[in-house]
Amino acid sequence: MPSMISATPTSSTPLSKRLPCTTSRSVLSALASSACIVGAVLTVSAAIAPAAHAVAVAPAKELDFAPSELRLFKDADTGKHYWYMTYDVVNNTGKEVRFAPRIDLVVDDGRILAQGEGVSSGVVRQIKAFLKNELLEDQFEILGEVLPGKEHAKTGLVVFRADDLEPTELTVMVQGLSRETEKKPHPKSGELVTLRKTVRLDYLVPGDPKPRGSTTYPIVNREWIFR
């Protein structure tokens, strides 16, 4: 038969009664001294600890640019089609910045179209009337100084002619948001050329795009490049 191991019962008599009186007073005195020492250490540590401070945020180097999805518009009078998009630009650089953007459309077959090229003022007015945004500015109205702060943000309209509706990949290049440049040798001549920091926006357009304001074509890639 296995042996049973019994636990030694714990005494219920308080510590102060089990120890001699002088010993109890010594223990209490030692605990009080330890508490004083700990409190002093914490006070000194708090005094020498460095105070928290706010980290200054460096101003932005570029204008903030928020583009919309791409849409297709059809002029009822001529039957011609046009790609268009809008964007918001905010100046968080801390100083006035002159804004004179260059915006191009690159078609997947290599053709490059500048914004507004072959686009009549009548088409621009029709699109602005459809969008019903009083703050919307066309490519000429938006030129000029952009003051710092969100309250001075500008909203722009970009329109490209759509010569055909076959391309499924469209790329928009936006210069004028940054002053950063770099020099690279030309691949053919070897001469140094200046490249400007540019936002690249890639849009995906499925087959048979519809010229309806409710139909949009999304941005599938956005990146900074030098061009």
Q: Return the ∠ at Cα 106 (arms to 199 and 116), rounded to 5°.
A: 90
The pLDDT of residue 92 is 96
Q: Are residues 108 and 27 in the same domain?
A: no
Q: Domain holding 115: CATH number? A: 2.60.40
Q: Are residues 40 and 103 in the same domain?
A: no
Q: Are residues 32 and 110 in the same domain?
A: no
How do strand 154-162 and strand 136-137 relate by DSSP bridges?
parallel
Q: Are residues 126 and 20 in the same domain?
A: no
Q: Are residues 24 and 130 in the same domain?
A: no
Distance of CA 29 to the CA centre of its chain: 62
Query: What is the total count of domains within the chain?
Result: 2
Q: How confident is the model at residue 210 (pLDDT cuts 50, 70, 90)?
A: confident
Q: Are residues 180 and 214 in the same domain?
A: yes
Q: Does 113 fall in a domain?
A: yes
Q: Which residue has better confidence, 57 or 65?
A: 65
> Which amino acid type is present at position 42?
L
Domain that includes residue 135, residue range: 64-226
Helix (H) or strand (E) holding 37: helix 21-48
Q: Are residues 76 and 41 in the same domain?
A: no
Q: Are residues 161 and 190 in the same domain?
A: yes
Among 23-32, 123-132, 186-195, 200-209, name the most confident range.
123-132
Q: Are residues 71 and 129 in the same domain?
A: yes
Q: Are residues 38 and 107 in the same domain?
A: no
The pLDDT of residue 14 is 45
User: What pTM did the predictor assign?
Assistant: 0.72
The pLDDT of residue 108 is 84
The pLDDT of residue 58 is 57
Q: Are residues 68 and 33 in the same domain?
A: no
- Asked if residues 209 and 84 have their Cβ atoms less than 8 Å apart, the reply is no
Q: Does 53 fall in a domain?
A: no
